[in-house]
Amino acid sequence: MPMTQLPVRVPLIDFDPGFFKAIANMRENILLAIPAQALEQPIFSGRTMVRWHMIMEPVAIKRVLLDAVDDYPKSNVTKTLLGPAIGDSLFIAEGAHWRWQRRATAPAFAHRSVAALGPVMSMAAEQACTRIAAAGPRAVDLAQEMVTTTFDVIADVTFSGDDMMDRAAVHDAIEGYITQAGRISILDLLGAPAWVPRPGRADATHLLEQTKVTADAAIERRRDKGPRNVPDLLDLLLAAEDPKSGRTMTTSELRDNLLTFIVAGHETTAQTLAWALYLMGHDTGAQNHAREEAQQVLQGRIAGAGDLAALPYIRSIIDETLRLYPAGGLLSRTAQADDTLCGTVIKKGETVMIPVYALGRHRDLWEDPDAFRPKRFLDRKAIDRYAYLPFGDGPRVCIGASFAIQEAVIILSTLLSRFRFEAVKGRTPDPKMLITLRPEGGVWMTCTPV
């Protein structure tokens, strides 16, 4: 049967709570910066210390992300939040420095390269099944289980075969950084320079220092040994070369990009899978449909990269999950020139935000926007490209999008083919975003083998 109630939502408000209350709200959940009006209007403007604009109109979004992309670089707040962790890597670099990194790393994320990493994803899916089965009749927090599963994947495709890498320490350092540093500071909104200490962020940055040292050593060991017989992501990046300039990455550039891929490559996919399983636990009709598809295709085996085309409904579940619970629920840019969007004048230096969370639930862009309806994605041509932005768009579209989708479909289809999931009553997750949109409180399910 379908869900008897709408999936959980962020409680967006339709009034101005005042500056200090707004700051407190955003420190608790960044998505509380989005006003309820963003669900209905093409643009909504306001002011903290600087004027800001949220745009929900696809034509205007296309201008920011594609047509005038150089006029809308990543915001200073984004760089201040993530810079201490990932340096001037692909995610936050700008201009020529971004372009050469993108050109150099593109082959590592081409379809053939991503498909070759499928066996790692399949192995992680099988290990997840083993852990869940071992729990027996006890309820399992599938949110935590998905974090473990996707971290196994990203660790194996970055530092595979390196026994000197303490995976648990790397995971704990990254988790600590996200938890401590992912909260907006009033100093961020006041525009204070990055060198001004933010409470708690220095401690979070310190957590990553040893990880960076360890990663540098691992990169140098791999340089000395040469590539493995089956190249992993580190091998591909060590061999990466900008086709225009011939430039290759230094150890620090490699490390910062690897940390970027580790954070993005496991945190975002983990949360997407957790939310997908939450939705499956509340919609038995969709779950049964997906299980039938998975069992028919897999015939008892673990899913692999070659199965994706035969699993369209499970892919649509991932797409619909990303519409309702996008891992990156808010994109932020700083205008570098005066402009006009949706008839509103944008001044140089003002902040332009794309509230991806609200965009996916906008009343004018989606039919029954708060409902879980995966079949709407079976016809991709019917979806406005700039109404659905789980991976951004334009030249800065997420380079790892195909990696994430492949991993999510492999893991979800394998789990659904092996287990029936039922939600534990009274344990509804709370959608909260720090750096990614997490199901706070966990996704608690009883998992029955089928």
Check: CB of residue 307 under 8 Å from CB of residue 298. yes
Rounded CA separation 202/63 (Å) = 36
What one-letter code names the amino acid at 360? G
Q: Of residues 105, 158, 260, 268, which has the active-site annotation?
A: 268
Check: CB of residue 28 under 8 Å from CB of residue 179. no
Q: Give strand pairing partners of 333.
A: 74, 352
Query: What are φ and ψ of residue 262, in 5° steps?
Result: -65, -45
Check: CB of residue 270 under 8 Å from CB of residue 278. no
Rounded CA separation 106/233 (Å) = 12
Enumerate the H helices of 29-117 as residue ranges: 58-62, 76-86, 95-105, 111-116
398 is catalytic: yes
Would you say how long the chain is, in residues?
A: 450
Radius of gyration of the chain (CA): 21
How far is the CA of 170 from the CAs of 159, 217, 438, in angstroms?
A: 11, 14, 20
Q: Roughly what angle, to the nearest 10 degrees, separates helices 284-298 and 312-324? A: 140
Return the SS3 of 164.
coil
Q: Of residues 129, 342, 398, 447, which has the active-site annotation?
A: 398
Rounded CA separation 164/218 (Å) = 8
Per-residue tokens: 127: 């290990």
Where do we find the tokens 């699993």?
311
Ramachandran bin of 18, using left for φ above 0, alpha for ψ from -120 to 50, beta for the remaining angles: left
251 is catalytic: no
* Concatenated DSSP letters of 188-243: HHTT--TTSPPTTHHHHHHHHHHHHHHHHHHHHHHHHH---SS--HHHHHHT---T
Rounded CA separation 221/69 (Å) = 38
What one-letter code names the amino acid at 93? A
Q: Of residues 391, 403, 419, 421, which has the active-site annotation?
A: 391
268 is catalytic: yes
To the question of whether residue 398 is assigned a binding role by annotation, the answer is yes
Check: CB of residue 311 under 8 Å from CB of residue 297. yes
- Could you tell me which residues are annotated as the binding site? 398
- Could you tell me which residues are annotated as the binding site for heme? 398
Active site residues: 268, 391, 398
